[in-house]
Amino acid sequence: MVGEKVERLAQQRGYFEQALARLQEALAEPESSFVRDSIVKRFEITFEMAWKTMFRFLVDKGERVAPKAWDVLPVAFESLLIDDPALWDRMRQYRNDTSHEYNEAKAVEIAAFVRAHGLGAFERFAAEMARRVP
């Protein structure tokens, strides 16, 4: 059972790291409407993989938490997996905004947010996971 938990966490973490790498690729490109849309979509995917990695880590450590980002983020903060719960909640809200409708002004706002704040939050989480689960 323990080996299975480690394998599921490693798999989920791999999905997150792959999504983060793809987001970094998009952010390295000069911005255009196409690149901006790619940034927004890759942000959505990276956010999903991040909170699911947090969930898997927390459950494997014995935490009782519902499998929803809304429930996972506060516990991840209490467990010191993330360092800014307000930032992660804003990311959760942006992820929800982008998955329900397309609004170009919102896409511009989100892409700028990802460049300024979101990428750093994802990278800090990736570093924390690497520190805790080498």
> For the domain that residue 96 is a member of, what is the CATH number?
1.20.120.330
The pTM of this model reads: 0.93
Render pLDDT for 64-103 as a digit per residue (tens, 0 to 9): 999 999 999 999 999 999 999 999 999 999 999 887 778 8
DSSP 53-102: HHHHHHHHTT----SSHHHHHHHHHHTTS-S-HHHHHHHHHHHHHHHH--
Location of structure tokens 């329900």: 100
Residue numbers of the domain that contains 25: 2-132
How many domains are there within the chain? 1
Q: Other CB atoms closer than 10 Å to residue 36's CB: what's the count?
A: 19
Write the single-letter amino acid at 31.
E
Q: Which residues of the chain have pLDDT under 70?
A: 1-6
